[in-house]
Chains A and B, each alone.
Chain A
Amino acid sequence: MQEAWTILDRQPDPVLVFDGQTHAVRFQNRAAARLAGQSAAAGVPLADLCGWLRMSAAKVATLLETMDAESAPKHLEVSHCDAHFDVTVQLPGLSGFPDQIVAAFHDITERRNAERQKQELVSTVSHELRSPLTAIKGAMGLVLAGSAGALPERARDMVQIAHRNANRLILIINDILDLDKIADGAMVFDNAHTPLVEVIDAAVEAVAGYRQRFDVKADLVIEARDAVAFIDPNRLVQVLVNLLSNAIKFSPAGAAVTVRLQDNGAFNRISVTDRGEGIPASEQRFLFDRFVQIGTRNRAATGGTGLGLSIVQAILDKQNGHITFTSQVGVGTTFHVDLPKPDAVPDSDIPKAG
């Protein structure tokens, strides 16, 4: 047993062991002592350490509550000065440390810095693309409007294709910039107590043209007419518009998509159901990744870049929301957006501007 502690002590990554009941520090290895300086001496309660790590004590406590000896290790990201750590929290149970919590810190500063640089590059490039695109779209718009005289029909068709694709590029750049903004916390959320029925109406209204184009109806099933969430209404509309446009473009002509609003006890749930071709189980876990598009569907017909769901998830993440889905090939797909009820969210967890 003593050997195990010695091995742990010499680990290059910082490791802390907490008492499972009191959450006080039982043990720290050398690397942890170096990292923590004086403050993480044995006996210090977890809540105090959280200040040191600038992490939310509530978050850690919640994390611990959901864990037991059987559960898989959980990950937590924390920052300390200019360093970033991926913390693996584990309850090893019977494997030598009964009733203790082991937190191992893995330094991911370099990875985070590289990501940040990549993000800066993305946002500069996207901004630089915008000026030439303004000129391209503008010139073609004027030509199509007849400002240069009447066009032969075939020339008109070609300019129209170019114009449509310039518009598509603009949408892609907007999506990339949105993701980028969310990722570095620059997207501002104007949270307010918002009736969810209003958000649903606005979103369904916003996709009216799209529905017509694909000949898809929208059915509303409102089971919780008074449901309210403390969220940014415009961002939630953006989320629902993304889900609805997916549901519509992957539906067969003449079908209907259903939007359902339910009170689910702890939270309110908005579901978007389609009767489209569904998503194969093997592909499901990649669905929220950037630029992921599934299968060999006719891209010209459905369009898109595979950024929609990444944006949806990123927005919901910032709004204490949660998205899940169920899908069956040949039957259809349902996306569920779960939003906490206003009083269920502790004040300190409501994201502030920035």
Chain B
Amino acid sequence: MKIFHVEDDADIREIARMSLEMVGGFHVDQYEHADAALAVAAEARPDVLLLDVMMPGMTGPQLLAELRKMDHMAHVPAIYMTARVQPQEIEAFKKTGAVGVILKPFDPVTLGQEITEMLQSKAA
């Protein structure tokens, strides 16, 4: 399972990578911002998009809108990662086409499982 992860904080990127690779058994490709992600998006064939919401430059939802314009990215499940928000905001994120929202700070032990469950509930 390949994860396409965009996050501007280097340390959080590192923690997420270790958590998803070592504990979760995923393959993770990481990008620091939307521009870096868009630069490789044409070649990328991820199974899931994991996007930070607040980033300098393009935000997560803006990046997702760009990615959705590409045929091969149009239906890849997307998950946002963000600091605590109100339930209503989570609903708004889901309306932009995400299958779920992971709250920061996340638990590195269960992060992979959380993502798997979101993908399954979407498939169901």
Contacts and interface: CB of A to CB of B under 8 A. Distances in A.
B27 interface: no
B70 to A, nearest CB: 29
Interface string A130-146: 11111101110110010
Nearest to A166: B105
Contact of A177 (B16, B22, B84, B107): B84
Contacts of B84: 174, 177
Contacts of B104: 130-131, 134
Interface stretch (B7-15, B41-49, B60-68, B116-124): B7-15
A186 to B, nearest CB: 8
B29 to A, nearest CB: 19
Given A174-B84, A177-B84, A234-B87, A137 B105 contact: yes
A177 B86 CA distance: 11
A138 B19 contact: yes
Contact of B88 (A130, A177, A188): A188
B9 A142 contact: no
B105 A138 contact: yes
A139 B17 CA distance: 11
B105 A170 contact: yes
Contact of B108 (A131, A142, A188, A190): A142
A141 B107 contact: yes
B30 to A, nearest CB: 14
Secondary structure class of chain A's binding surface, majority of residues: helix
Question: Residue among A138, A145, A181, A187 with the most chain B CB within 10 A?
Answer: A138
A142 B22 contact: yes
Contacts of A133: 105
A138 B23 contact: no
A143 to B, nearest CB: 10
A139 B88 contact: no
Closest 7 CB pairs of A and B: A138-B15, A135-B11, A134-B105, A141-B108, A138-B108, A137-B105, A134-B104
19 contacts: A130-B104, A131-B11, A134-B9, A134-B15, A134-B104, A135-B9, A138-B15, A139-B15, A139-B108, A142-B19, A142-B23, A147-B23, A147-B108, A174-B84, A177-B84, A187-B86, A188-B86, A190-B87, A234-B87
Interface of A: 127, 130-135, 137-139, 141-142, 145, 147, 170, 174, 177, 181, 187-188, 190, 234
Given A142-B18, A145-B23, 15 more contacts: A132-B11, A133-B105, A134-B15, A134-B106, A135-B11, A135-B15, A138-B12, A139-B108, A142-B22, A145-B109, A147-B108, A170-B105, A174-B84, A181-B86, A190-B88
